[in-house]
Structure 1
Amino acid sequence: MKCSDSTDINYRKEKNHRYWNLFDLSGKETNNDQSFSLNKKQEEQPCFPTRNDRVSFINQFTIEDRCKTLQNYLNTVLKHPKFREHIATKEFLEVSSSSFVQGLGNSAKEGAIAKRSIDDIRGRSIFLRVPFICDKLRCHHAEKWFVLKDSYLVYMDSDSALIGFPMLIDKAFSIKHDYRKTSTNNGIKIKNLQRSILNKFEKKDDRDTWFGCFINVKSKSLFAEQNSFLSYAPRRQQQYAHWFINGQSYMEAVAKAILAAREEIFITAWFLSPEVMLIRPCDDDSMRLVDLLNKRAEEGIRVYVLLFKDPPLVGLNSRYARLKLMAKSPTKKNIKVIRHPNHIVIPGTESSFLFSHHEKAVVIDQRIAFIGGIDLCWGRWDTDEHRLVDLCDENITELKLPNEKSDQLEEEIQKEEAAVGVTEKIAENSIIDNSISGEHCGGKCAQTPGCTHFAWTKYNGGTCWMKTGGASKSDAFATSDPNMVCGVIANKPENKASGTTTRYWDCCKPSCGWPGKVSGSNAHVKSCRRDGYGTWSDGNVRSGCDGGEAFSCNNHIPWAVSNQLAYGFAAATIPGLSEQQRCCACYKLDFTSGPVVGKSMIVQIVNSGSDVSANQFDLQIPGGGVGIFNGCTSQWKSPSEGWGRRYGGVSSRQECYNLPPAIRDGCFFRFDWFKGADNPNMVYSRVQCPQELVKRTGCSRND
């Protein structure tokens, strides 16, 4: 039946029905009513347009008109909810749910094909193969929707779009279509390094079309060629990669990547310990793997973990790891864990008893992959020093007998007791900060705010040692007392000045991040790439606020050292000091107003503060307002006014969840340690920069 006939019948039914309904009102239906009813029906059920023009009357105009009519019809079909999802529409257009997923690439061909997995019966006894003998009945074939991409083939269920199995186009990828290889008519046998499948077609033309597509895709794929060194992947140029030698740097990078995840986290491991601490030292459990994954899962990130299902004899305790991880994310339930394989031995079949998953990988958003041989478990965390113990600062390089250990301990106690009298020997213009063993005196001084030099007399000589950067030898406290171990001397505080604080976070490259901004040095503050982690070695990269690719680093956020002390970064203007004299200098802020009275914060100046008033420290706090510059929209796609107000930023801790996870802790700092203080007053003084700040910025001063 033609479309017009169907419409006529429906229309007459609608007309009669409407005539009787309207009879009591008007007695007759108008021509306008009839046209409206017809158009409405055609919109609800689009029909294929038909024309009866003779061939002799067809010209270019009628062809274009027909094309436009056909185009409108197809668009109407796609707008209709039932027709759009109908299998006939998908087969005609050769599209599916995977056709429009960003990042998967274009489909070379799609369609429904009858399929049988040949390796479903591999390794089974002859008795289990009986149901598959009768090929003509096709009882073992199932119709699946196949999608051929540029580097892989995948099939899925036609109704649910559930992916069955992806086949990579690798160096063993082959396609056969002759009867001798497929043992079936109109079939194609596909094989790669992983498995084999057999596709069966009703028509020879369909088989030949698909076979041609397979050959075309394979000929263009780099993965189908033999790679250098027999590698599974081809050689690529200009790839971003970083080598990790020890667990310390590797686990810290994994933790930061997990915090930066935006969609999903995938982990596969031979051995996984949920309680392993990824970043050490840490004052709380936030850097434990299980707590880190729980935090991200509750924030909406999907976490997938694949563990080797070890036999009890191996002792990896994967069952405990699975239960521990699955117990997390109670509200979102975003942590999924699979253990594989099941070690079952059945006579006459292949067994996985001697098989184990030995891959170690962490994949973030299918964008960053950590691959190699380091499991996230106990015993893998190590530093470059390779200490024998993880209990103290001593690097034990040799074994000692029990009596030797006791003698050494007694000697150390005597040294510590002798060091108590050090405070009486310090010059009047200096104060003692600590007394420790001479071996670590310099390191302690470097970590002590305000420390400029130290005194140390060796037991065997009476030599005075200077901290690198000390003014002169006479500035150190010299003594010949053999009992004196180490006096770490901190200069008395400079003259203090009163000032005010504000807050900001504009994501821009620090103004102290350009070479030549530190007087007498080529040092400059680190700037980072768009992800906030990778740093630029070139200090001349243009700022993201000026259309460039350099931004503020994710770790340039404030953090609490204790209940009374915090570290951070700021933009500041100090009267009488030029930009070159201010950049990378550290100041201690003693707060005198608001809920932070009695607390102190040591900040390093990373921005010169061209728009900051004298004696004003603009604290760098995520969510503090972008101010006059806004690089956050370019870096994080934040709103045009930043998060919250342009000046002042967010107004509650809950609003911090609108920020990227990588800098969210800095926003929490404002409402936790900083107690939500709004621009408190303070008294500031110049101090020596703590190493924790210098390590993050890569910038220090010699004055």
Structure 2
Amino acid sequence: MAAIEHLMHSGHHKYLPMRTEGSRPAGSSSAIFSGHQHTSDVAESNRIFDQLPKASIVQVSRPDAGDISPALLSYTIEFQYKQFKWQLNRKASQVIYLHFALKKRKFIEEMHEKQEQVIEWLQNLGIGDQNNIIQDDEDADEEALGSRSDETARNRDVPSSAAFPIIRPALGRQHSMSDRARVAMQGYLNHFLSNMDIVNSEEVCRFMEVSKLSFSPEYGPKLKEEYLMVKHLPKISSSGDDSRCCLCQWSNCCRDNWQKVWAVLKPGFLAFLKHPFDPKPLDIVVFDVLPAYDGGNRNEGASLAKEVNDHNPLRHYFRVTCGSRNIRLRTKSSAKVKDWVSAINDAAVRPPEGWCHPHRFGSFAPPRGLTEDISEAQWFVDGCAAFEAIALAIEEAKSEIFICGWWLCPELYMRRPFQTHASSRLDSLLESKAKQGVQV
């Protein structure tokens, strides 16, 4: 039973609890949909958002002022989560694709829930596992289970009526249609941003370009994130989608080792994750300190990222060079290549909080221990202040004092001048705390 509960609450799908008296055989039909994406229903401990984000439409634009097709409208959306703000440009077609992806996710979840109900129904009839036959007096529980399943599915659903105005806003004057499209898009965003389960789904997280590294204050502001193709990493074990093109099934045209990873750009580094919900990076590219630019003009030779021209017009590459590392990355279009090259080079020359700027005392790293980065480290100029802080920490200990060092003198005075602070000697401090019941 413990194994069943672990499966129900793991990072995979949340299965509805079954009132059975034994374990199901390994060959049961519950494995039919086991290949679905692991992030379709994320466990609470692995969620990216622990509170609902906000979104607002900043601008609605069209490629041609004379074109009134709603499908060609482009939206500039500003998202806010806690102290983080970022803007994304999204086309109406991308929003409709997101809607279909959410519908697909809801359908598969319903199939999971219905599948469990059918298995339980077969067991009640004696057709399923004979060791797990349930008595007939549980019909009322079945009805209650079905009602809870329907309610759960409704809570995770975004109604199609919310997406219809995006596809076809009411026709009228051009600026009037833009206003109505703005209202329609805002209404659709409010639909899925008001549900914690939908917000933490992989589809929405990809749409919003967020991951487990997005909102860590110590890594700086949120910048660009997206799936990229890399070749320098070892084989990533995954049961998800195959990243090769459709022609590889017959011609094996992609004989290389390109793999799809989630790229996270921060002011001082570029990290690669297996997927947005993975907290452990596969690789981190730390940016070098760049030379100063004269008059604000960027020296192209000092850029971290450059576009790579390939003989194959269907493949789009860019290169990131940092120190001895030279990494080639691939995207789906030349426009995405330009966006990434610009974003990486801009991140490298951000204001002084970035790692690529010269810092005080010639250090490669920005000053830490500041209020802005929520650091708990304390910085001291000399030994007098440092030892006094250690003495204060020992005096404030409530349960345990842990000392780790290769050499320790018990007759060391922690406060100066020692003539007036005889009780601040290390052995005296530890003895007094031990008498109070503190473990040393």
TM above 0.5, one fold? no
**Higher helix content, 1 or 2:** 2
Alignment TM class, shorter chain as reference: 0.3 to 0.5
TM-score by length of 2: 0.42
Asked which structure has the greater RCO (Cα within 8 Å, sep 6+), the reply is 2
Structure (1 or 2) with the larger CA radius of gyration? 1
